[in-house]
Amino acid sequence: MTDSQPTIDRPTLLREIEAANQRIRNRFNDYEYVFTTPLRRSARLELRLGCERLFIKFENIQRGGSFKMRGATNAVACGHDEDPNRTFVAASAGNHGLGLAVASYHYGHPCHIFMPDNTPVTKKATIGLYTSNIHMGGENYDATQKLATEFAEAKGHAYVHAFNDPRVIAGQGTIGLELEQQFRDSDEAPPDYVLIPVGGGGLLAGLGTVLKDRWPDTQIIAVEPELIASLSAARGQAQPVRIKGEPTLADGVAVAQVGSLTLPIMNEVVDDIVTVSENAIATAIVKLIEDGRVVVEGAGAVGLAAVSKMVAGSPDFYKDKSFLILTSGGNLDISALSNALQRGLALESRRTHLQFIGRDIPGFLSEITKALAQLKLNIVELSHTRHNQYLNFGWTRVDVMVDTEGATHAKWALDRLRDRGFDVNLVSDR
């Protein structure tokens, strides 16, 4: 499939979603490989944010670590019925490629996954568990996709687009059928708002189609990073708009142009768009770990970041409202997780950078560490600099990272250190 696909109307798509739900259930023995993911309320996040109800749909624990397994499985299942000897090809920086590799493996089909040169080693290694046909090439997704489509055409293989494919869209939409059943079983009223991450739009188009049919009064909010807001650029347009985005922590939704198939559907089902900053995404990752007990990638945290932004902007309006977010993926590279945690802790003033200036004499460093110990401030990191163009001769700088309990505690620590005669300031690492 290519970006020049014809449009698909919502009634037809809804029937395809229902068929996809039956197809992958039958083939995979009640979701042995694609299963019903949990839906839970988070009392702690409700209290922290100040809203009535907050539901989390845990797609991050789906087979393959993301919702992408659904669309890939449906595409492979359809292809298998058409030709049991078909070879599949995909371009992906991670989740879609992993989903296609897993589905192809279990259906007994060869597959080739093309990945950008900067793809994290862990994602390449995980896909390598299911296929040895991994092709690295291209400085970004667009360049990699070009290589993949050319390869598929030359070899006569089936290219499966990450989002601009009706079979993929239908597979992602099966989440909506699960949600309807889960809310019915729980006797909970449908949420006022459902916040859905958007990159190319496969998830939003599929899930949004089901929700608008089943829960017409529920508001559907698309969420995308401020640094690459491709739906915001194209909303209301007849054709997708290509934008020049910037790298984002939410790399799973970093798409420069939404799909030509998904855009018309999104224009119909989306009630509003919320864009979120990198700082908000990092903070949301920390909140989900601490209060939601779940580790997600950046794209999986944008929903909580958006809820936080909405409630903080109008607390009185949203205090009696209910929200549903999807933790859409959990394939977070360890180094990216470390960076996100450091950033999130700094933003919450849970890690505080103190900078001391003093005379370069024996005992100065000892005085600092002694004072911090007396204030019960745990040192996380420390550096001692003598040679700096901004320091006068005979003076030194000591940078210390300490654990604090928030902005109030950090300010208290600063004041107590100044009371003891230290020349010290807070340094923003945000």
Per residue, what are the HEC states of 378-394?
CEEEEEEECCCCCCCCC
Q: 421-430: per-residue pLDDT in tens?
A: 999 999 986 5
67-75 mean pLDDT: 96
For residue 392, the model assigns a pLDDT of 83
CATH number for the domain whose boundaries are 10-66+173-344: 3.40.50.1100
210-235 mean pLDDT: 97
Answer whether CATH 3.90.650.10 is correct for domain 349-427: no
Q: Could you tell me the pLDDT band of residue 346, with boundaries at 50, 70 and 90?
A: confident
Q: 394-407: per-residue pLDDT in tens?
A: 899 999 999 999 99
Q: Which of 150-154, 244-248, 302-306, 334-338 has the lowest mean pLDDT?
A: 334-338
For residue 336, the model assigns a pLDDT of 79
144-153 mean pLDDT: 96
Q: 116-126: per-residue pLDDT in tens?
A: 888 877 788 88
pLDDT over 70, % of the chain = 96
Sequence ranges of the domains in the chain: 10-66+173-344, 68-159, 349-427
For residue 32, the model assigns a pLDDT of 60
For residue 315, the model assigns a pLDDT of 97
Mean pLDDT of the chain: 92
- pTM, full prediction: 0.87
Q: 353-371: per-residue pLDDT in tens?
A: 999 999 999 999 999 999 9
Q: Could you tell me the pLDDT band of residue 196, with boundaries at 50, 70 and 90?
A: very high
CATH topology agreement for domains 10-66+173-344 and 349-427: no
For residue 114, the model assigns a pLDDT of 97
Q: Which of 34-43, 206-215, 303-312, 326-335 has the lowest mean pLDDT?
A: 326-335
Answer whether CATH 3.30.70.270 is correct for domain 68-159: no
Backbone angles phi, psi at 92, to 5 degrees: -165, 145
Amino acid occupying residue 191: P
For residue 13, the model assigns a pLDDT of 97
3-class DSSP state of 247: coil
377-400 mean pLDDT: 90
- Contacts for 222 with CB less than 8 Å, ≥ 6 apart: 196, 198, 204, 231, 266, 270, 272, 273, 274
For residue 286, the model assigns a pLDDT of 92
| 27 has a pLDDT exceeding 60 | no
For residue 400, the model assigns a pLDDT of 97
Report long-range pairs for 101-104 (Cβ below 8 Å, ≥24 apart): 101/127, 101/130, 101/131, 102/33, 102/63, 102/64, 102/69, 102/72, 102/73, 102/130, 103/33, 103/69, 103/72, 103/73, 103/75, 103/76, 103/77, 104/76, 104/130, 104/131
Is there a contact between 203 and 328 (Cβ–Cβ < 8 Å)? yes
| 388 has a pLDDT exceeding 90 | no
- Contacts for 366 with CB less than 8 Å, ≥ 6 apart: none
For residue 30, the model assigns a pLDDT of 42
377-390 mean pLDDT: 88
For residue 430, the model assigns a pLDDT of 53
Q: 264-275: per-residue pLDDT in tens?
A: 999 999 999 999
385-389 mean pLDDT: 80
